[in-house]
Structure 1
Amino acid sequence: MTSDENTDETTEHRDGEATASEDDADSQRTDGGDRAAGDDDAELTHVDETGDVQMVDVGSKPDSKRRAVARGEIHLSASTIGAIRSDAVEKGDVLATARIGAVQAVKHTWETIPMCHQIPITNVDTDFDVREECVRLTVTVETTGKTGCEMEALEGVTTGLNVVWDMVKAAEKDGSGQYPGTRIGGVEVLTKEKRRVDESD
């Protein structure tokens, strides 16, 4: 993406209500991204005036090209990492199966997150990085539509890592059938972008 294409990019919440001023406010927070103390004007757009949950109406918004990247990792034993690298896991190809699970999760996010819109997914990219103590998964999702795709990216990451866990759980269990060293963590949205449909690629 060129510098010209970046001119209209903005961070936007999935409900489509974030503005440039909200982005500026986020950049000034020192509490790790949470709402600032005393921010009584923060609007919860998925809740109506009576407190009932609602899907946000995005029908009047113009279509934009949108892209979100999320990442997470699953910590595993050294022997399990070795088995993944040598394709020696009894259930089969761990990463190929997890990749399918991640893509399927992206496409079905609207069915599992109650207030998400069903959006047209134009591309999903999954990148697995097998490290010494963990498998890191990065999922990139692209769409052209009226609302963002960060929830789809997050769903892809969490489901993909869950599939890894399922594929290797026999190797990760201890003598009592527990998982003392297996854990999923570090799940985060790395970037979220949008630009006008009429911008040149």
Structure 2
Amino acid sequence: MQLTHIDDHGQAAMVDVADKAITIREARAEAYVEMKPETLQLVTQNQLKKGDVLAVARIAGIQAAKKTSDLIPLCHPLALSKVSVDFEIDVEHSRIWVLSYCKLAGQTGVEMEALAAASIAALTIIDMCKAVDQDMVVAQLCVTHKSGGRRGTYQRASKGDNHE
């Protein structure tokens, strides 16, 4: 297997996607923010001074997906047709799962955009809650699904399949 972002001289390079077919490409990613139970309760009851944590995190995640090529140097700027960020509250483990989805019709995949959305939404949750909980952790950031392109479909066991 050869890395795609390395040229013939071993230098970092942007992949040329001009000859790739335009296909519908989708990706899903996830991560979770673990926090104290008291913090999770404040979030779910919308009682934090900074405002609606999940609404702000959702917008931040969507913005991050749209700005991925500005953040990751060799990513192509993409005309995303859909970005969504959703949350699942896991009271038992005191976690908020962040689930992102990105879609486009294009010549390159949207995995990095989905990862950017999930990670920035998770970081925004921390930013919104850090005044009451400094022990929060972001974990298990990963792509759970991708489709479209030459390599076809990839499916990883997702939140509902592999967690305690």
**TM-score (normalised: structure 2):** 0.87
Query: In the alignment, which residue of structure 2 is the partner of 1:126?
Result: 85
In 2, Cα distance between the equivalents of 1:138 and 1:99? 10
Query: In the alignment, which residue of structure 1 is the partner of 2:12?
Result: 53
Residue 138 (structure 1) shift? 0.3
Query: In the alignment, which residue of structure 2 is the partner of 1:63?
Result: 22
In the TM superposition, what are the counterparts of 1:99-178 in structure 2 within 5 Å?
A: 99-132=58-91, 133-173=94-134
**Residue 194 (structure 1) aligned to one of 125, 148, 156:** 148
Residue 195 (structure 1) shift? 6.8
RMSD across aligned C-alpha pairs, in angstroms? 1.2
Residue 61 (structure 1) shift? 1.2
Residue 49 (structure 1) shift? 1.8
Identical aligned residues as a percent: 33
Q: How many residues align?
A: 148
Residue 60 (structure 1) shift? 1.2
**Residue deviations 1:16-43 (CA, integer Å, cap 9, x gap):** xxxxxxxxxxxxxxxxxxxxxxxxxx21
Amino acid at match of 2:96: V
Secondary structure at the counterpart of residue 170 of structure 1: coil
Query: In the alignment, which residue of structure 2 is the partner of 1:84?
Result: 43
In 2, Cα distance between the equivalents of 1:45 and 1:187? 22
Structure having the higher strand fraction is 2
In 2, Cα distance between the equivalents of 1:89 and 1:117? 37
Secondary structure at the counterpart of residue 141 of structure 1: strand
In 1, Cα distance between the equivalents of 2:77 and 2:26? 15
Unaligned runs of 5+ in 2: 151-164
Secondary structure at the counterpart of residue 82 of structure 2: strand
**Residue deviations 1:21-73 (CA, integer Å, cap 9, x gap):** xxxxxxxxxxxxxxxxxxxxx21121112111000100111110010000000
Amino acid at match of 1:66: R
In 1, Cα distance between the equivalents of 2:59 and 2:19? 34
Amino acid at match of 1:97: V
In 2, Cα distance between the equivalents of 1:102 and 1:56? 25
Query: In the alignment, which residue of structure 2 is the partner of 1:33?
Result: none
Q: Which runs of 4+ in 1 moved over 3 A?
A: none
In 1, Cα distance between the equivalents of 2:22 and 2:144? 23
